[in-house]
């Protein structure tokens, strides 16, 4: 691929005592988590526990107000940076509900994004080749490149398109917010393969947010964290996911209220 | 609708060639209430001093170009003035430009009419574009310079003919322009209007369409970019009085800066005899800053029970934060993200401009506005 020459030492995302509010209501109440390149962390938890808030707060969505703590990527506090500067620093958020942007074509968007993240415009032929390879790998029809961004895409198409961006932008740390939600088994497999290709280099870290254990059969996590009421309440290895599969979140929701 | 609201069809009933039939507007009239009369520089009350607008025509060889006097019997046949300024322009214009495309002739290139204002003082104009049956042609009206200008433009589209018109209001900052564009569509005629309003202190353009036979098809597209202090008003009227005709109106504008003001009026009347009418009108306004204001008023009056389709939509709003966030989250800086989204807002409209040079020029102008 085009940037195989890029040598990257390991990266680290450190979330330190993060507090986040939405409209004066505190949602995250002190989150601590470290993700290193080569690691895949799953964050699991019941609906409303604050999992997505964590994802969007790290990315810098204006709706979320950080009231305390730090998010360091290789020592740089992302919270001090604009949304776009965070992405250029190596952070990627795969969104749960990618928004439709009328009149902006997928290819124009992707070229703009790749240009911004790499700091220079990719050579057209190289970009076209990378794009085609990426789309083929995710079983995305070539006609998608000319369509308006996410407009009229099915749920599965939107998620595949998110993973296509992940593979093209090659971030240091990827936060995947319920990328598995709304996918049928075939789409889930295709998307999971994309995530696995991305992490195969060993140079990237993945923070996988999910409600269900299903995706973890395809994307094996190294660590599993249980999220409840705005903080991590339990941590373990892959076996913790199996426990959640069997027992559900009931124990955590009761304990945290 | 309140009890005081008159039916749309009655608002457009009064037409006359005589200025005196229209009282000097005060600003309280329905058709003048959005327009800042004090900035019309006397166009509405006859107080304007004489000035000039130079008309230059670069015509396709298939197009006959004539400059005629007031007494030419072909003038004013398709359109009778419907307000004071229009009647004023009709009463005092000195020379009219008549452009004719003969029966079954197909113009081999666009005919460009450049109207250049030469500074202070009012000027009045009249243009007649006439396509005889089965003719096809593209016309460009390119308005430039500094002017106080009122005019009437008649488009007569003969049976089965196809007329495409691009009207570019690219005036200097101090220009005032009040204009009526009326298209009269014969049986099975096709009319495509693309209006681009970018420059001028005050532009009030009233495109209207009527039909003289069934099967007519009108598509009216508009794009405007309103800066601080500018007033840009587009008043559409489509009068369906013949069966099985179509009309589609799509106007989109962006506004930025203090007292940037856009007005869009979209009137559609479907009369009793206009069975099988298919019509849709849409206006979207993108408010890029505080202090800008968009008035958008769609009106649809249906007097027959037998329509193929009739609808309208109007929305004015800000740039969607979620769009900007999504693009920024992929590393695209805020200014670039904003530009991409605004370009996207206009993209479908720009694609409709079939002349690549003109499309690039309009796109370039929009980009330049965004740099401000």
Write down which residue in B318, B334, B353 finishes a domain: B318
Q: How many domains does chain B fold into?
A: 2
Predicted confidence at residue B3, as pLDDT, reads: 44
Task: Specify whether B343 is located in the same domain as B290.
Answer: no
Contact residues, chain A, for B336 at CB < 8 Å:
112, 116
- Residue A62 has its nearest CB partner, among B321, B336, B346, at B321
B351 touches chain A (CB under 8 A): no
Q: Which residue on chain B is closest to A170 by alpha carbon?
A: B330
Asked whether the predicted pLDDT for residue A9 surpasses 80, the reply is no
Task: Specify whether B107 is located in the same domain as B168.
Answer: yes
Predicted confidence at residue B289, as pLDDT, reads: 93
Backbone phi, then psi, for A166, in 5-degree steps? -55, -45
Q: Which residue on chain B is closest to A103 by alpha carbon?
A: B344
Task: Specify whether B312 is located in the same domain as B328.
Answer: no
Nearest-Cα distance to chain B for A214, in Å, is 27
How is the beta sheet containing A231-236 ordered, strand by strand? Answer: A91-94, A173-177, A205-210, A40-44, A223-228, A231-236
From B141, B165, B139, B166, select the one nearest B151 (Cα to Cα): B141
Asked whether the predicted pLDDT for residue A206 surpasses 90, the reply is yes
Contact residues, chain A, for B366 at CB < 8 Å:
none
Task: Specify whether B230 is located in the same domain as B112.
Answer: yes
Q: How confident is the model at residue A34 (pLDDT cuts 50, 70, 90)?
A: very high
A228-246: per-residue pLDDT in tens? 999 999 999 999 999 988 8
Nearest-Cα distance to chain B for A237, in Å, is 30
Backbone phi, then psi, for A230, in 5-degree steps? 85, 15
From B283, B295, B224, select the one nearest B255 (Cα to Cα): B224
Predicted confidence at residue B42, as pLDDT, reads: 86
B157 close to B190: Cβ distance less than 8 angstroms = yes
**C-alpha to C-alpha distance for B262 and B257, rounded to whole angstroms:** 12
B128 close to B96: Cβ distance less than 8 angstroms = yes
Cβ–Cβ pairs < 8 A, chains A and B: 85
Q: Which domain holds residue B266?
A: 8-318
Please report, for the domain that includes residue A246, its CATH number: 3.40.50.300
- Helix H, strand E, coil C: the string for B126-171 is EEEEEECCCCEEEEEEEEEEEEEEEEEEEEEECCCCEEEEEEEEEC
Question: Based on the number of CB atoms within 10 Å of its own CB, is A243 exposed (0-12), middle (13-18) or buried (19 or more)?
Answer: middle
- Contact between A87 and B329 using a beta-carbon 8 Å cutoff: yes
Residue B112: strand, helix, or coil = strand
Task: Specify whether B213 is located in the same domain as B296.
Answer: yes
Task: Specify whether B341 is located in the same domain as B244.
Answer: no
Predicted confidence at residue B354, as pLDDT, reads: 87
Q: How many domains does chain A fold into?
A: 1
C-alpha A168 chain-centroid distance: 14
B247 close to B274: Cβ distance less than 8 angstroms = no
Predicted confidence at residue A7, as pLDDT, reads: 46
Nearest-Cα distance to chain A for B333, in Å, is 5
Q: CA B38, B39, B45, B51 torsion: positive or negative?
A: positive
Task: Specify whether B282 is located in the same domain as B363.
Answer: no
Predicted confidence at residue B65, as pLDDT, reads: 97
**C-alpha to C-alpha distance for A144 and B222, rounded to whole angstroms:** 28
Mutate to test the interface with B, among A84, A109, A151 (most CBs of B within 10 A): A84
Q: How confident is the model at residue A254 (pLDDT cuts 50, 70, 90)?
A: low
A interface with B, Cβ–Cβ < 8 A, is: 59-62, 82-84, 86-88, 92-93, 95, 98-99, 101-104, 108-109, 112-113, 116-117, 148-149, 165, 169
- Residue A87 has its nearest CB partner, among B322, B330, B340, at B330
**C-alpha to C-alpha distance for B139 and B141, rounded to whole angstroms:** 7
- Contact between B325 and A61 using a beta-carbon 8 Å cutoff: yes
Interface ipTM > 0.90: yes
Predicted confidence at residue B44, as pLDDT, reads: 83
Asked whether the predicted pLDDT for residue A249 surpasses 90, the reply is no
- Contact between A84 and B333 using a beta-carbon 8 Å cutoff: yes
Predicted confidence at residue A253, as pLDDT, reads: 75
pLDDT tens by residue, chain B, 372 residues: 344 567 777 777 789 999 999 999 999 998 999 999 999 988 888 766 666 899 999 999 999 999 999 999 999 999 999 999 999 999 999 999 999 999 999 999 999 999 999 877 889 999 999 999 999 999 999 999 999 999 999 999 999 999 999 999 999 999 999 999 999 999 999 999 999 999 999 999 999 999 999 999 999 999 999 999 999 999 999 999 999 999 999 999 999 999 999 999 999 999 999 999 999 999 999 999 999 999 999 999 999 989 999 999 999 999 999 999 999 999 999 999 999 999 999 988 998 898 999 999 998 988 888 887
Kindly report which listed range (A1-10, A98-107, B269-278) carries the lowest average pLDDT score: A1-10
Task: Specify whether B361 is located in the same domain as B305.
Answer: no
Task: Specify whether B41 is located in the same domain as B164.
Answer: yes
- Contact between A116 and B340 using a beta-carbon 8 Å cutoff: no
Nearest-Cα distance to chain A for B331, in Å, is 4
Is B1 inside a domain boundary? no
Contact residues, chain A, for B345 at CB < 8 Å:
102-103
Q: What is the mean pLDDT of chain A?
A: 92
């Amino acid at each position: 691929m085009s940037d195989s020459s890029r040598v990257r030492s390991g990266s680290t995302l450190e979330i330190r005592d993060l507090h986040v509010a939405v409209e004066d209501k505190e949602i995250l109440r002190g989150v601590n988590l470290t993700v290193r390149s080569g690691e895949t962390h799953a964050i699991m938890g019941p609906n409303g526990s604050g999992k997505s808030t964590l994802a969007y707060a790290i990315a810098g969505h204006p709706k979320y107000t950080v009231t305390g703590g730090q998010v360091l990527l290789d020592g740089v506090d992302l919270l001090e940076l604009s949304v776009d500067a965070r992405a250029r620093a190596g952070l990627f958020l795969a969104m749960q509900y990618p928004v439709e942007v009328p009149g902006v074509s997928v290819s124009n968007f992707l070229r703009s994004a790749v240009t911004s993240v790499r700091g220079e415009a990719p050579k057209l032929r190289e970009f076209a080749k990378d794009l085609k390879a990426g789309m083929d790998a995710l079983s995305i029809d070539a006609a998608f490149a000319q369509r308006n961004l996410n407009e009229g895409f099915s749920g599965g198409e939107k998620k595949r398109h998110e993973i296509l961006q992940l593979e093209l932008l090659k971030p240091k740390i990827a936060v995947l917010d319920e990328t598995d939600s709304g996918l049928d088994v075939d789409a889930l497999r295709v998307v999971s393969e994309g995530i696995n290709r991305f992490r195969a280099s060993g140079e990237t870290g993945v923070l996988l947010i999910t409600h269900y254990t299903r995706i973890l059969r395809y994307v094996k996590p190294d660590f599993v964290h249980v999220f409840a009421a705005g903080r991590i309440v339990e941590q373990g290895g892959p076996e913790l996911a199996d426990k959640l599969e069997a027992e559900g979140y009931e124990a955590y929701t009761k304990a945290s209220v | 609708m309140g009890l005081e609201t008159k039916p749309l069809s009655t608002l457009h009933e009064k037409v006359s060639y005589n200025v005196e039939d229209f009282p000097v507007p005060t600003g309280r009239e329905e058709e003048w209430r959005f327009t800042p009369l004090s900035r019309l520089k006397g166009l509405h009350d006859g107080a304007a001093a004489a000035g000039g607008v130079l008309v230059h025509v670069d015509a396709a060889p298939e197009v006959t170009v004539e400059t005629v006097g007031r007494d030419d019997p072909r003038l004013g046949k398709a359109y009778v003035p419907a307000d004071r300024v229009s009647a004023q322009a009709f009463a005092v214009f000195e020379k009219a430009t008549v452009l004719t495309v003969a029966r079954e002739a197909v113009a081999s290139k666009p005919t460009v009419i450049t109207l250049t204002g030469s500074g202070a003082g009012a000027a009045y104009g009249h243009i007649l574009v006439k396509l005889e049956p089965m003719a096809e042609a593209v016309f460009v009206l390119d308005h430039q310079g500094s002017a106080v200008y009122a005019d009437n433009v008649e488009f007569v589209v003969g049976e089965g003919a196809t007329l495409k018109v691009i009207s570019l209001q690219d005036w200097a900052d101090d220009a005032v322009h009040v204009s009526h564009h009326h298209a009269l569509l014969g049986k099975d005629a096709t009319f495509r209007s693309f209006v681009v309003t970018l420059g001028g202190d005050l532009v009030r353009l009233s495109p209207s369409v009527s039909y003289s036979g069934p099967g007519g098809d009108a598509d009216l597209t508009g794009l405007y970019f309103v800066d601080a202090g500018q007033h840009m008003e587009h008043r559409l009227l489509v009068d369906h009085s013949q069966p099985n005709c179509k009309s589609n109106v799509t106007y989109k504008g962006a506004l930025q800066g203090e007292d940037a003001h856009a007005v869009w009026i979209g009137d559609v009347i479907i009369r009793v005899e206009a069975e099988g009418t298919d019509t849709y009108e849409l206006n979207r306004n993108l408010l890029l800053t505080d202090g800008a204001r968009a008035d958008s008023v769609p009106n649809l009056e249906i007097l027959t029970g037998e329509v193929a389709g009739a609808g309208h939509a109007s929305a004015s709003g800000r740039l969607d934060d979620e769009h900007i966030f999504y693009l920024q989250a992929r590393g695209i800086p805020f200014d670039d993200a904003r530009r991409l989204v605004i370009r996207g807002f206009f993209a479908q409209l720009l694609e409709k401009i079939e002349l690549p040079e003109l499309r690039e020029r309009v796109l370039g102008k929009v980009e330049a506005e965004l740099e401000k």
